[in-house]
Amino acid sequence: MEVEKISGLKFHKKQDVAIVGAGMTTFKRRLNETGRELSYLAIKQALEEAGITIDDIEMVVMGSAPDTFDGLHMKGEYLLDGSGGSDRPYMRVFVGGGTGVFAPIAGYWHVASGLADVCLVVCEEKMSSSHPHPQSAFKYIWDPILDRPLSPNLIWIFALEMRRYMHVHNIKHEDIALVSVKNKGNALDHPCAQVAEKITVEDVLNSEPMALPVRRLDVSPPSDGAAALIMVAPHIARQLTDNPVWVTGVGWALDTTWWTNRDLYFPRYVAEAAKMAYRQAHINDPRKEIDVAEPYDPFDYKELHHMEGLGLAKKGEAPILTREGVTQRDGDLPTCPSGGLLGVGNPIAATMGVKACELYWQLAYRAGKRQVAKEVTTGVCQAWGDLMQVGTVMVMSNKR
Amino acid sequence: MIEKIVNPKELRHWDGRIELYWIYTSGKAGDEFFKKLMNEEKFLAAKCKKCGKVYFPPRIYCEKDFSETEFVEVSGEGCVRAFTVARLDAYEKPLEKPEIYAVIDIDGTDGCLIHLLGEVEPENVEIGMKVKPVLKPKNEREGKITDILYFKPL
């Protein structure tokens, strides 16, 4: 057995893990399909891209965020048959919005441990079932005694965080709005996109105020959809493709649930998770060694926040890189070339399609019109969730 | 020493309620199934194009081999696979009339349905008994599983 010893991290890996196929549905309001049907549609694409059938799948990881969206307790069990979980070892994982990268991390455990040689990871979210609005469901993630009597919602919590970030680094809304302009524009090349459009900084600044500084175009939309990934052992990858993409590092971390007691300007949970993943991937200087990134962007400032957590920019530097065009698709460090959540949509867990799946497509040179201009070897994707406290990070490389 | 408090009013306490509701849809196959039942009194199943397994109620995919399926019509008749006679309601109050719940193996399919049995006394129900569905009158049907009132012995 191969044993890797990395300082500060006990890490015993049985085998390397490759990604050989991915798929996703369009992101939009999909009343016509059930969550099971959405999962099935995404899996079919991933199997086809990998060149295998469902019979080849040994184990399944399902990722889906709170049960309150679908209105079904034990949603994982409900979704099982459309997720290929029937008669197989099957588990559901979720860390709220962080699920889109946490689910592939769980898939990685399955293969790296040697328990499975072929693992299917599928993420689904159907937010449109929830009324009066999917946002209403978030009310019940707060502490029932300290927070909930004030009727908080996510938008104003994020507004507090955005304000703090802007204040500490003296950042203008104009600089943050550039992220929304970039991502919604990138999404024009994504066939699954919900809110792709060519907009300007002025459009963002003049859009409807929600909880200032957050305005309508700073935010990603609720959505329905599913995404799937096929993760395999090296000997399987060799049979299927000449160009597998390797998972070289995974990391996850949670900060305290007492969110008011954090300094909101910097996502420590992402920094901790990134540190774990980079150590495993032998990355010392992420800004130099990462060629393409998919940081989690449910809000425009969040992409910047997360770039800094991921060490892709110094604290307060992400808006400068964005203004200089470094993060454009033809820039030196393209971020969210998929169009991200801001452009493609935000079906919580299913955003795996624009994070882990997109990174795989970029590194496999399968991203089509979305392919970044520069040569790419190594990339990072990240998601964030729970009570604004979890960071989930995956590093991939097309060199083993 | 731990004091036992059973009345929350002795402590500061907060009432809570999750004020959400959901609108569920039945998917592509479910929609066909319920419309057919409501409008034409017919039952749809779905046959896997690869392995031939027949799903009831229908689905757009085969859960075993992930192939597509095609709709096939079935009679809706079947036989009792298992049953129970409920004598208490959910609050443990005796029911005026016992209710018979059965898993019904639907003819010509590999699927079963849970539903009520009617026009039969509990002591006369047997496993393997042939049954057929009794539907609500057309003007009362809503495209729901309760458009079937119950299954009765054939």
Q: How many C-beta atoms surround the C-beta of residue B103 within 10 A?
A: 15
A217 neighbors A340 (Cβ within 8 angstroms): no
Percent above pLDDT 90 for chain A: 84
Q: Report the C-alpha gap between B63 and B51 in whole angstroms.
A: 11
Write the pLDDT tens digit of every residue in B35-74. Answer: 999 999 999 999 999 999 999 999 999 999 999 999 999 9
Give the residue with greater pLDDT, A322 vs B10.
A322
Enter the pTM of the model: 0.94
- Substitution target in B20, B51, B59 with the highest count of A β-carbons within 10 Å is B20
A206 in a domain, yes or no? no
Q: What is the pLDDT of residue A352?
A: 98
- Residues in chain A closer than 8 A to B26 (CB atoms): 34
Strands A245-254 and A390-397: antiparallel
Q: What is the pLDDT of residue B1?
A: 60
Please give the average per-residue pLDDT across B121-141, as a whole number: 97
Residue A3 has pLDDT above 90, yes or no: no
Q: Report the C-alpha gap between A393 and A16 in whole angstroms.
A: 17
DSSP H or E stretch at residue A135: helix A134-138
Strands A378-385 and A390-397: antiparallel
Say if the Cβ atoms of B28 and A54 lie within 8 Å: no
- Substitution target in A30, A81, A125, A146 with the highest count of B β-carbons within 10 Å is A81
Q: Report the C-alpha gap between A124 and A37 in whole angstroms.
A: 10
- Substitution target in A54, A125, A139 with the highest count of B β-carbons within 10 Å is A54
Write the pLDDT tens digit of every residue in B73-130. Answer: 999 999 999 999 999 998 999 999 999 999 999 999 999 999 999 999 999 999 999 9
Write the pLDDT tens digit of every residue in A363-380. Answer: 999 999 999 999 999 999
Q: What is the pLDDT of residue A378?
A: 98
- Residues in chain B closer than 8 A to A131 (CB atoms): 20-23
For residue B15, the chain A residue with the least C-alpha distance is A144
The phi and psi torsions of B103 (rounded to 5 degrees) equal -90, 120
Write the pLDDT tens digit of every residue in A252-284. Answer: 999 998 888 888 999 999 999 999 999 999 999
Strands A292-294 and A245-254: unpaired
Say if the Cβ atoms of B22 and A129 lie within 8 Å: yes
Residue A340 has pLDDT above 60, yes or no: yes
CB-side exposure of B112: number of CA atoms within 13 Å? Answer: 14
Tokens for A367, please give them.
């991203």
Q: What is the pLDDT of residue B100?
A: 97
Q: Distance from A156 to chain B by nearest Cα, in Å? A: 20
Q: What is the pLDDT of residue A121?
A: 98
Place A388 in a pLDDT band, splitting at 50, 70 and 90: confident
Say if the Cβ atoms of A140 and B60 lie within 8 Å: no
* A285 secondary structure, DSSP code: -
Query: Which fold is adopted by the domain B27-153?
Result: OB fold (Dihydrolipoamide Acetyltransferase, E2P) (2.40.50)
Q: How many structural domains is chain A composed of?
A: 1
- Substitution target in B63, B65, B67 with the highest count of A β-carbons within 10 Å is B63
Write the pLDDT tens digit of every residue in A63-73. Answer: 998 888 888 89
Q: What is the pLDDT of residue A9?
A: 63
Place A5 in a pLDDT band, splitting at 50, 70 and 90: low
Write the pLDDT tens digit of every residue in A140-195. Answer: 888 889 888 888 888 888 999 999 999 999 999 999 999 999 999 999 999 999 99
Q: What is the pLDDT of residue A6?
A: 54
A265 in a domain, yes or no? yes
Lowest mean pLDDT among A47-51, A348-352, B17-21, B141-145: B17-21
Q: How many C-beta atoms surround the C-beta of residue B48 within 10 A?
A: 21
Residue B31 in contact with partner chain A when CB distance is under 8 A: yes
Please give the average per-residue pLDDT across A306-330, as a whole number: 98
- Residues in chain B closer than 8 A to A132 (CB atoms): 20-21
Task: Indicate which CATH number applies to the domain containing A264.
Answer: 3.40.47.10
Nearest to A31 among B25, B63, B65 (CB): B25
A154 in a domain, yes or no? no
Say if the Cβ atoms of A40 and B66 lie within 8 Å: yes
B98 neighbors B121 (Cβ within 8 angstroms): no
- Residues in chain A closer than 8 A to B64 (CB atoms): 54, 86-87
For residue A29, the Cα-to-chain-centroid distance in whole angstroms is: 20
Across chain A, mean pLDDT equals 94
- Cis check for the bond before A213: say yes or no (omega within 30 of 0): yes
Torsion angle of the four alpha carbons B4, B5, B6, B7, in this order, in degrees rounded to the nearest 10 = 160
Q: Distance from A33 to chain B by nearest Cα, in Å? A: 4
A108: three-class secondary structure by DSSP: helix
Q: Which residue has the tokens 């016509």?
A: A32
Q: What is A30-88 written as a DSSP string?
A: -TTS-HHHHHHHHHHHHHHHHT--GGG--EEEEE---HHHHT-TTHHHHHGGGGT-TTS
Chain A interface residues (partner B, CB cutoff 8 A): 31-34, 36-37, 40, 43-44, 47, 53-55, 68, 70-71, 81-82, 84, 86-87, 129-132, 136-137, 140, 144-145, 148-149
Say if the Cβ atoms of A44 and B66 lie within 8 Å: yes
Q: How many C-beta atoms surround the C-beta of residue B23 within 10 A?
A: 10
Q: Report the C-alpha gap between A353 and A27 in whole angstroms.
A: 10
Lowest mean pLDDT among A13-17, A51-55, A149-153: A149-153
Q: What is the pLDDT of residue A397?
A: 98
Please give the average per-residue pLDDT across A276-298, as a whole number: 97
Q: Report the C-alpha gap between A51 and A369 in whole angstroms.
A: 23
A-B CB pairs within 8 A amount to: 69
A250 in a domain, yes or no? yes
Q: What is the pLDDT of residue A156?
A: 86
A143 in a domain, yes or no? no
Place A1 in a pLDDT band, splitting at 50, 70 and 90: very low
Q: What is chain B written as a DSSP string?
A: -------GGGS---------EE----HHHHHHHHHHHHHH--EEEEEETTT--EESS--SB-TTT--BEEEEEE---EEEEEEEEEEE-TTSPEEEEEEEEEEEEETTSS-EEEEEE-SS-GGG--TT-EEEEEEPPGGG--SSGGGEEEEEE-
Domain residues for A21? Answer: 3-132+221-397
Give residue limits of the domains in chain B. Answer: 27-153
